[in-house]
Amino acid sequence: MFHATDLAPTDDRAALESLGTVFVADIHSTRFEQPCPAQVGGCCTVYPTRPMMCRDYNCALLLKVEEGAIGEADARVIVDSATTLRDRVHAGLAELDAGWPRMLGSQHLTQRVIRAHKRHGSSPELEHVVDDALKLQAMISEHFTVRPDPDNAP
């Protein structure tokens, strides 16, 4: 959702490519940048053929929904807030990054913030982005960190 996703050899790369997914081949894997273009309105449009990494991703929020600790509507509000914040951070950083080599989604937001700071020094624009990025990191850590699936616990 926020950085990058690795494809397994058996994953359907073509479905994602047809949606304009940006792939980054490296020595270890084939990964694609987030935000994923297959996500539309909070739903996965390639759900039946989604990558293995997506299938295995059990974030804290999903587990809470499955346990009945939070309703789907409330979970959707959290997802929508996080994606709005993410888009704001990416847009703010894109402006501050203008003219610089593109940093890929797999590179942590913090690195982009540090680079923007080196380039621009402190500025109100950067402070807004940093503020949003900190809120986003807090949301990711609270709601979207991967938790072990209790059904597959050793």
Residues that bind ligand SF4 (CB under 6 A): 5, 36, 38-39, 44, 46, 50-51, 54
Judge whether 144 and 1 are in contact, CB under 8 Å: yes
The least distance separating ligand SF4 from the CB of residue 11, rounded to whole angstroms, comes to 9
DSSP string across 50-78: --HHHHT--BHHHHHHHHTSS-HHHHHHH
Q: What's the number of CA atoms in the CB half-sphere (13 Å) around residue 150?
A: 6
Provide, rounded to whole angstroms, the least separation between the CB of residue 133 and ligand SF4: 20
96 vs 105, which CB is nearer to ligand SF4?
105
Measured from the CB atom, is 40 or 77 closer to ligand SF4?
40
* Minimum CB–partner distance for residue 7 and ligand SF4 (Å): 10
Element (H, E) at 32: strand 30-33
